[in-house]
Structure 1
Amino acid sequence: MTSVYIVDLPISKSIANRLLVRSALRGDMFPELPASNLPEDVLLLYKILTDNQSSINVGNCGTAMRFLTAYYAQKEGKTVQIDGNERMRKRPIGTLVEALRKMGADIDYLGEDGYPPLCICGRKLHGVSLEIPHTESTQFISALLLIKDYIDGELQLKTDMTSPYIAMTEHILSSPSVSLERDWSSAAFWYEYVALHTDATILLKKLTKSTIQGDVVVSELFKSFGVNTSEVEDGILLSKNNQTQIKDTLTIDFSDCPDLYPAVYLTALRLGVKLHCLGTERLAYKESDRLTAFDNLTKDTGYHPSFHDHRIAMALLMADFETDDLACIAKSYPDFVKQWRECRRK
């Protein structure tokens, strides 16, 4: 009988970080965060919002940089400097800054124009009509949506950008009560593991398809790689369907699910599937340049750098590659390495 490895996933940092900023804006109590397996990005944002410091370093947390830029821009009488690590200083924020300036924000660049670090002097903002290109980060839209009820007048956002992440933000702002959920983005790496390991069966505890997370689409994408998804009483059960005929070529649009790219790419590579990727424009500005992160990688396992990117590192490990900087994984999934090692021993 095939043994089942039970996985306790972290909470969705996308949901948690939106709830933290919503609570800070409303002056509400912050959501109760789990004591274990808490993503470092969530803990970082929580500490920043509760410590009331004037000098802030967000490391390589893009969500914190974008959400806090909008948050402090509207916080009257508060002056802060926001910086990050070397990679963060290469991640563009100019479109968001210019949008906030049109709303009356006082924001200066402390380095290269268009990039962190920033100096922000909070003031009352006013509503305007803004156009945000579809090529920009969806978090620019979410950052503006989060503060729209705390400005004078109406904010009109014009964009042809659609995204589950924007829908998530709108849902959180319009719903009186939103619960923390287990993370579907993190679940992707266990889908990868099952796809690449015969007889692997994984129970993702407390995960549910009734979710506001767009990355639930991973359950559909991995059908092509022979992974069955079953909803059971305790969560989501993943099993390998060895009867699946794996196609030679797949075309996948990552516009709405960019965080799934590393797990899907490595799975396709190891299974010998030629992957045609659409909607990958924004991958260059993630924790690493994910568009080039797998350059020169072949299906033969060995060492490949993680580029200090948590999702690259997890995808490599699940595909039986060796990599470096396992500590970076705690950004979204602190217990991953321990769980991965335990699963391999079974």
Structure 2
Amino acid sequence: MNVLVQTNQADLQGKIAVTGSKSETNRLLLLQALFPNITLANMSNSDDSEVMQKALKGNDEIVDIHHAGTAMRFLTAYFAVNEGREVVLTGSKRMTERPIKVLVEALQQLGAQISYEKEEGYPPIRIKGQKITAHKVSIPANVSSQYISALLLVAPKLENGIELTLVGEITSIPYIKMTLALLNDLDIKTNFEGNVITVFPKEKVDTKEMVVESDWSSASYFFSLVALSQSATINISSYKASSLQGDSALVKLYQELGVNASFENNLLTLKKQADFQPKSVTFDLNHTPDIAQTIVVTCFGLGIGCHLTGLHTLKIKETDRLEALYVELTKLGASISVTNDSLTLEPSTSINKNVHIATYNDHRMAMAFAPLALKVPIIIDNAEVVSKSYPDYWEDFKTLQFQVSEI
């Protein structure tokens, strides 16, 4: 389904309810599988979380997680420690091109039995669940934080817990801290000192309801809309000023892009700054790479330049996001260059109309480019891809008086 997105609204006003964080939900679903007396509220309704839930509850020998990268990493660890269970974990064509070797080797260090069904280092993988007694393991610190979180989440159920040494400079620290904070909420003891993370074993946890905070990555598109508007007030629920999610850095970053954010009773209010004068920005997104697409599109729409660094993990996401941004922004008339871990956009004042934006089976490509409809009509190809993380995205756009029409 391709959609044409356009609007003649100069002033954006509305209230949006965003469902729970996909990152928190998937971590808590795994913890709930390990400790069934946990209950969850305000869970994400994303495809990724539904896939994760189905895989954890099912008994199939072949577990297909489609495009869900988080599920691939977390379930690799989960099935590796699920004694007596044997599964083949697979996914979409793109998923079979996304590396898993670093996590597999870490689990093998601990004694897990995992083998590759096809190409070494990539899914599909065959996992024979084992009782794990070893507890010391090391992993490169600059890999996807999901590899690290996968090990930490299963650690309480290992006989001796885990002592995980991160080798090199650590990236995506907020996601590691989110994982540890959720463990701590269940009174599971952890320690993060220097480059060593320890999670202590815990046989049982107390019965508890865990409420998932709404997804900050999903909120990023409304920050972009407010930045690109002439005037706007958008309320979004449910958010906390002190969040476990790294993408809450949006509040500070978007201040430089013309958006003021305030909190009251878990309601986040976004307002366009009066008399905002756009100027080029430089951001290090090492800890928040998932909002890079939103930010660069915002800067393009504002007519300003940006230099974004810390983007090395974007090359192994749903698509090579750096290359995809280069191709699609160039179609719109942007002057942009990318390296393996950075992106530079030159200031420009014109935007080509009615351009088809390819989404590469990547939900964030669709959602990041849609706010440009405030500037020019834009066509988003395969618009249904948003369901991966935010199924209600287009309906929420319509509540803000955008026309979203299938073509």
- In the superposition, the TM-score normalised over structure 2's length comes to 0.80
2:11, 2:230 within 8 Å by CA — same for their partners in 1?
no
Alignment-mate amino acid for residue 331 of structure 1: K
1:80-229 mapped onto 2 (5 Å cutoff): 80-159=87-166, 160-162=169-171, 163-176=173-186, 178-229=210-261
Partner of 1:306: 359
Structure 1: state its 5+ residue gaps. none
Q: Which amino acid aligns with 1:108?
A: S
Name the structure with the higher strand share. 2
Match of 2:337 in 1: none
User: Larger deviation: 140-149 or 170-179?
Assistant: 170-179
Task: Tell me the CA shift for residue 111 of structure 1.
Answer: 1.3
Letter of the aligned partner of 2:309 in structure 1? L
* Corresponding position of 1:328: 385
Matches for 1:289-300 after TM superposition, within 5 Å: 289-296=320-327, 297=329, 298=334, 299-300=351-352
Q: Distance in 2 between matches of 1:345 and 1:151?
A: 51
Partners in 1 of 2:99 and 2:271 — Cα distance? 40
Structure 1 residue 240: Cα displacement: 0.8
Q: Percent identity?
A: 36
Residue 280 of structure 1 is matched in structure 2 by: 311
Distance across 2 between alignment mates of 1:123 and 1:313: 41
Higher relative CO (CA 8 A, sep ≥ 6), structure 1 or 2? 2
Identify the residue that residue 253 of structure 1 maps to in structure 2.
Answer: 284
Q: After TM superposition, what 4+ stretches of structure 1 lie above 6 angstroms from structure 2?
A: none
Do the aligned partners of residues 128 and 234 (structure 1) sit closer, same or farther apart at CA in structure 2, a change above 3 Å counting? closer
Task: Return 46-55 or 63-72, whichever deviates more.
Answer: 46-55
**Mapped partners of 1:87, 1:30: distance in 2:** 33
Q: Which residue of structure 1 aligns with residue 300 of structure 2?
A: 269
Superposition deviation, residue 155 in structure 1 = 2.3
Q: In structure 2, give the amino acid aligned to 1:215.
A: D
Q: Number of aligned residue pairs: give it.
A: 343
**Could you list the per-position Cα deviations for residues 129-151 of structure 1 after superposition, in whole angstroms to 9, with x for gaps in the alignment?**
33222321100100000111222
Contact 1:102–1:128 (8 Å) recurs in 2: no
Q: Is the 8 A contact 1:125 1:152 kept in 2?
A: yes
1:19 aligns to 2:28 (yes or no): yes
Whether the aligned pair in 1 keeps the contact of 2:24 and 2:212 (CA below 8 Å) is yes
Structure 1 residues 286 and 343 mapped into 2: Cα distance closer, same or farther (>3 Å)?
same
- State whether residues 5 and 202 of structure 1, in contact with CA within 8 Å, keep that contact through their aligned partners in structure 2: yes
Is the 8 Å Cα contact of residues 224 and 244 (structure 1) preserved in structure 2?
Answer: no
Aligned residue type for 1:254: L
Q: Which moved more, 1:170-179 or 1:107-116?
A: 170-179
Q: Distance in 1 between matches of 2:160 and 2:236?
A: 45
Aligned to 1:4: 13
The 8 Å contact of residues 79 and 122 in structure 1, kept in 2 or not, is answered as yes
In the TM superposition, residue 95 of structure 1 has moved relative to its aligned partner by: 0.2
AA aligned opposite 2:58: D
Q: In structure 2, the residue corresponding to 1:276 is in which secondary structure?
A: strand
**Is the 1:11–1:39 contact (alpha carbons within 8 Å) kept by the matching residues of 2?**
no
Aligned equivalents of 2:95 and 2:41: distance in 1?
A: 28
**Which digits, 9 at most, give the CA deviation of each residue in 1:227-272, with x for residues without a partner?**
111223461111111422221x311111111111111010011212
Q: 1:154 to 1:40 in 2, by over 3 A?
A: closer
Are residues 1:318 and 2:371 paired? yes
Tell me which amino acid in the other structure corresponds to 1:15: E
Task: Answer with 91-100 or 155-164: which moved more.
Answer: 155-164
SS in 2 for 1:136: coil
Over aligned residue pairs, what C-alpha RMSD do you find?
A: 1.9
Residue 277 of structure 1 aligns with an amino acid whose one-letter code is L
The amino acid that maps onto 2:321 is R
What are the superposed Cα offsets for residues 156-193 of structure 1, whole Å, 9 maximum, x if unpaired? 21114251100000011111254211111100000001
Which structure 2 residue ranges, 5 or more long, are not aligned?
Answer: 1-9, 187-207, 335-350
The structural deviation recorded for 1:32 is 4.1
The structure 2 residue matched to 1:238, chosen from 259, 270, 275, is 270
The secondary structure found in structure 2 opposite 1:244 is coil
Shift of 1:2: 5.9
TM-score, length of structure 1 as denominator length: 0.94
Worse overlay, 195-204 or 78-87: 195-204
CA distance in structure 2 between the aligned counterparts of 1:332 and 1:134, rounded to whole angstroms: 26
In the TM superposition, what is the alpha-carbon distance from 1:303 to its structure 2 partner?
1.8
1:20 touches 1:30 (CA, 8 Å); kept in 2?
Answer: no
Post-superposition shift, 1:47? 1.3
